Amino acid sequence: MAYLHSLLLQLIIFLIMNQTQVSLCATQKTLILSLKTQTLPHGLVPKRLNTTNKISFHHNVTLTVTLTVGSPPQSVTMVLDTGSELSWLHCKKTQNFNSIFNPLSSKSYSPTPCSSPVCRTRTRTLPIPASCDQNKLCHATVSYADASSMEGNLASETFYIGNSARPGTVFGCMDTGFSSNSDEDSKTTGLMGLNRGSLSFITQMGFPKFSYCISGRDSSGVLLFGEASFSWLQPLNYTPLIQITDPLPYFDRVAYTVQLEGIKVSEKVLPLPKSVFVPDHTGAGQTMVDSGTQFTFLLGPVYTALKNEYMQQTKGILTLLNDPNFVFQGAMDLCYLVPLNRPILPQLPKVSLMFRGAEMVVSGERLMYRVPGMVRGGNSVYCFTFGNSDLLGTEAFVIGHHHQQNLWIEFDLVKSRVGLAEVRCDLAGQKLGLGV
């Protein structure tokens, strides 16, 4: 899949132990991490993998965390991925992968045999099943929609989070692979899976929940593992995670899936039956909260209804591009012309995503995205930040990070729910004493 010429975010995370020492249990504390954003020249849009029966995404936002792994410790930089389960590291130096973990230098490294319970039972929710190699070691493969793939052996190792050692952490020690974006991949050592699978990093660490907060004002933000108990944080509104136990071809059972029930433009609810938001008998149509996808994508009938209503309510406010040949990022075809000499956008009708028990309001600058470098007759081109999933071949609703700005979003694994609360994320970082 070709790279799209758009500016994307990289969130660079530095681990900091929480000075308030909030206890989860006798041996666990809350970990607070500082997020910083950096623009990148290229990125990817989500697309369903053809090689698996689950919906997976190669994220166009990269969250990286620097940890130490092994005995003696080796420094590694890992991409955080809420859409993946298996964490992995590059374990063989190549021309494309300069930052690696060397298992031969670690006394605590232990490869996983095929006969182990980890290989036989805990790999069942991986998109590509584990296999057995010629050395009778558990072989793992990960594959992404941009044609990138990695292969290697499952192993256990000691990971250090803050000042805490986590021995026996299962990960993939990858020694072969292909990357379609080697320049960016060469800057990291691997990937940290954060979905709800049994082998995901958050599950293995034993934290009952994690949260993040991305600023829309500047480059700051917060990522937190554990309990978020702060007097300045208003009560969260929770929506339950949707769980389907039976395997379905288009339903990712370990994703963070919530139930979208309706959409409002200003105060007008789109006249759509609730059934259009419910997954069908194949699992197609789930709604995933994904920090890695930049924009929000809706299935065709819902997107068309939203697009038509938004065009109606912006008549006389914005000028349509009216170019049927232009579709931004392959899925966003509602675009407008804005004079170059206009410093700010006019007041726009807000869009509200209505979930069971919670609501996400998208307003102001988050509704429009300026297409980089595109000028039409003295006008900039801005596109509506909702896209059509059908144009991507994606059988799902995906709530992207652009619409999660200035929200405290909590993923509660124990109570199977996602919590939302409006907050100024740049100020949240300041209140937590993070250097932003």
Residues with catalytic function = 81, 290
Residue 143 to residue 177: CA distance in whole angstroms: 9
Q: How many CA atoms lie within 13 A of 133 on its CB side?
A: 13
Backbone angles phi, psi at 185, to 5 degrees: -65, -25
Contact between 155 and 109 (Cβ < 8 Å):
yes
Backbone angles phi, psi at 117, to 5 degrees: -60, -30
Token pair in block for residue 71? 């005995």
Spatial CB neighbours of 275, under 8 Å, sequence gap ≥ 6: none
Residue 165 to residue 163: CA distance in whole angstroms: 7
Token look-up 């929506």 returns 239
Burial of 400 (0-12, 13-18, 19+ CB in 10 A): buried
Contact between 416 and 241 (Cβ < 8 Å):
yes
* Selection from 154, 406, 397 nearest residue 296 by Cα: 397
Residue 259 to residue 138: CA distance in whole angstroms: 36
Longest Cα–Cα distance in the chain: 69
Helix (H, G, I), strand (E, B) or coil at 94: coil
Contact between 363 and 274 (Cβ < 8 Å):
no
Token pair in block for residue 125? 């929710």
Distance set, CA 252 to CA 136, 265, 287, 326 (Å): 29, 29, 10, 32
Distance set, CA 200 to CA 78, 89, 123, 136, 214 (Å): 13, 14, 10, 23, 22
Residue 264 to residue 267: CA distance in whole angstroms: 6
Q: For residue 349, say if its preceding peptide bond is cis, omega within 30 degrees of 0.
A: no
